Structure 1
Amino acid sequence: MSHLLEVLANKSTRPRYAFMVLNLVADVARPDGSAGPFVPSEQGLLTLRDWLSDALGPMGARDPRRLAMERAVRRSMEQDGKLPDDEQAAGRAVLAQMHQRVRASGKTNLSRAVSELVRADLMRRHYQGYRVDHENRGAQRHAVYTIIGRARCLLRTRPANAGKDTNRQGELPLH
């Protein structure tokens, strides 16, 4: 772990952010270290990049730029006549627009961090989807990230029967 942190400190422009990305990918990775192209969430299946962007979004909630963005979104919606008269509905509409903007900027930040992780030999990236697996994105392909090298220490070890109910009828689970 200490060597991983040293690599991140030397290879990344934002080592803390890159470490958060690695940890989140490790949380949803399969035993081979790969995650994506889709991740189950409360909203259903999300692409890995959308899920990561949403997971990292709250980190900037108190950022003055985020607060300024909220004011700008509200002003823009008022000028375009798209802001509902009801204050609660207006708040929900502003939050929905904010979510879209934060997700879009989060994907940009995420791409930069993943590119640094790939250059540092901590992650591999490929695209999977509509036609065939391919190195290049497009044609309805979605990112798959694979944790490699020293970053594999972040992978959670799961028992072989994780998620399976191995108790037979009449036996109580041991906790």
Structure 2
Amino acid sequence: MGKSATNVGHILDRLSEVSSRPRYAFAVLNLLAEQAGPGAKVGPFILDDGETLPLRVWVGKRLARISGRNQRRRKIEQRIRQELASKLPNDLFEAQKIVDAAVEEHVRATGADNFSRVATELEKAGYIRRFYEGYRTNHSNRGGLRNLVCVLDADVSAALRRRDMLV
């Protein structure tokens, strides 16, 4: 595909050149390598905790777990609380559950959007190749919506699975 990576150090060096957020890109690349099947293909759907999710949504869900920056979450929570002020119940616990669910959904959606940007950077680095399966494409979901599929570079996939020279 692109520049061949022989170890994790080379991958990180290349990401620092190409990506505006190299640590985030590395986390996404690791998630993709973890799910890669035969031929280093990931997607279009991933089975996660009993539910089948499109690749973008799955990455957003996984990365939402590490996006625990308190100030950012508090600002999101305040904004959502203001938007839902008239719809929240008087019971504080129920209101907090509703706000927490809305914050979690917002963070997941943002993660899915960020994945698209990072996938472009990973493609530019030569570490993945993207294509879509769905409408007018022969596969098991023919006629469905277009769904993202990523194919990892074989050397990158091998280096991440091997975990050699992890910085």
TM-score norm. by structure 1 comes to: 0.78
Distance 1:4 1:150, change over 3 A: farther
TM-score norm. by structure 2 comes to: 0.82
Residue 83 of structure 1 pairs with residue 83 of structure 2: no
Using CA pairs under 8 Å that are at least 6 residues apart, name the structure with larger relative contact order, 1 or 2: 2
Unaligned runs of 5+ in 1: 134-138, 158-175
Superposition misfits of 4+ residues, deviation over 3 angstroms: 154-157
Alignment check: 8 A CA contact 1:77 1:83 kept: yes
Q: Secondary structure at the match of 2:109?
A: helix
Q: Which residue does 1:93 correspond to in 2?
A: 98
2:36 partner amino acid: A
Q: Residue 110 of structure 1: which of 112, 115, 118 is its match?
A: 115
Paired residues in the alignment total 152
Deviations, residues 25-64 of structure 1 (Å, cap 9, x unaligned): 1111103111111111125101111110111112221241
Residue 129 of structure 1 pairs with residue 134 of structure 2: yes
Percent identity between the aligned chains? 38
Q: Secondary structure at the match of 1:59?
A: coil
Q: Residue 146 of structure 2: which of 141, 145, 153 is its match?
A: 141
Unaligned runs of 5+ in 2: 1-6, 139-143, 163-167
Residue 67 of structure 1 pairs with residue 63 of structure 2: no
Q: How does 1:148-163 map to 2 (within 5 A)?
A: 148-154=153-159, 156=161
Query: Separation in 2 of the partners of 1:43 and 1:68?
Result: 32
Let me know the Cα RMSD of the aligned residues: 2.2
Q: Secondary structure at the match of 2:39?
A: coil
